[in-house]
Amino acid sequence: MSADKSLFYLSVTLLTIGVIFSFSLPVFVTLLFDYSEFHFFIRQFVVCILGIFLMWSISLLDANKTLKFIGTGLLLGSLILMGLMYFLPSSIVTEVGGAKRWIKFPGFSLAPVEFFKIGFVYFLALSFSRKIDNSKKTLKDELKILLPYLGIFGIVIYLIAVLQNDLGQVIVLAATLIMMALFAGTSFKIFSIGSFGAILVAFGAIVSSEHRILRIKSWWGNIQDMVLKIFPDSMANVLRVDDAPEPYQIGHSLNAIRHGEIFGEGLGAGVVKLGYLSEVHTDFVLAGIAEEAGVVGIIVIVGLLITLLYRIFLISSRSEDRCFHLFTLGIGLLISFSFIMNSYGITSITPIKGIAVPFLSYGGSSILATCVGIGMVLMISKKANL
């Protein structure tokens, strides 16, 4: 059987859109640092070509023979790199805000956490398929089964949220873990407990970090006037924050979206990207696209992404092997949660987190990891009854 061609072409289409906007959006950065006007375009184009080649090559392999090798390799390899990078000199590791997230190689930098997410999903799929089934268990028995995973996830929290200061990735992985456990056969009570526990951990991570508290205050300061209208004055006065820092990034992001209106200003004609909205080609790429392509452009992108996720979840539902079923489900969940967190953040629905938009954000590690994950799903699709 052949791999799912629809999923492959949808992925290539989204990657192509990302390449186009990697030329249009970062114009201010190219002028600021005196780069060539094709600096980001060429790099994104090369990475996407490599990603498409990886995706196609992996899809040709036999899932029964190689999925375990690739998944385990990604998990162990990225874990080793994530552990070693804190002992490497600054000439090798890129440090931003005191956190080391990228390892420098000649011509590019690598973020091991992006590949760890794929390996972690495979580990959960393999382990859940062996240890969890749909048989009825007591709450105590389910907690005994899941307790080791909580210990492992504690290590993940330390490596990513503490050492890398990246709570957003942990939230994506936690949500994926909880949903995969639910579909693997755990009860809704465990799902509820897990969700509540994740909220408590996130709350603890926020209150223990000054910059995260400031980010929450900035987000709340931006939306409080609208939200507090529904509360009585006495309660609204208690909830109001008067000294919240100015959320300039979110403000410019919303300006870009409003400026684009229905049909957009046209490719390359956006103005908010001209020094107002930093990182417009990375974390705020959707805002930049909204200004230049309008609501219509965003609807097209969302439509493509929903169709892609439908194909992934269809492959998952049609896979007889439980490990294949759960792994494919996990990849779909990673893409879904990443897109939701980014789009909610740039529109001020939730606090902004540094989560890349799958397929679209500029960045080699995110693109390559996503392509590897899709390639593994394509490999599984040959075994599914589509």
Q: What is the pLDDT of residues 264-307, one digit of tens each?
A: 898 888 888 887 877 788 889 999 999 999 999 999 999 999 99
- Report the chain's mean pLDDT, rounded to a whole number: 86
Q: pLDDT band at 44, cuts 50/70/90? A: very high
Q: What is the value of pTM for the model shown?
A: 0.91
pLDDT for 32 equals: 81
Ranking 13-27, 59-73, 93-107 by mean pLDDT, the lowest is 93-107
pLDDT for 123 equals: 95
Please determine, for residue 38, whether its predicted confidence score (pLDDT) is greater than 80.
Answer: yes
Ranking 12-21, 120-129, 145-154 by mean pLDDT, the lowest is 145-154
The average pLDDT across 357-380 equals 95
What are the beta bridge partners of residue 289? none
pLDDT for 233 equals: 64
Q: Tens of pLDDT along 228-272?
A: 667 776 666 666 766 666 667 787 888 889 888 999 898 888 888
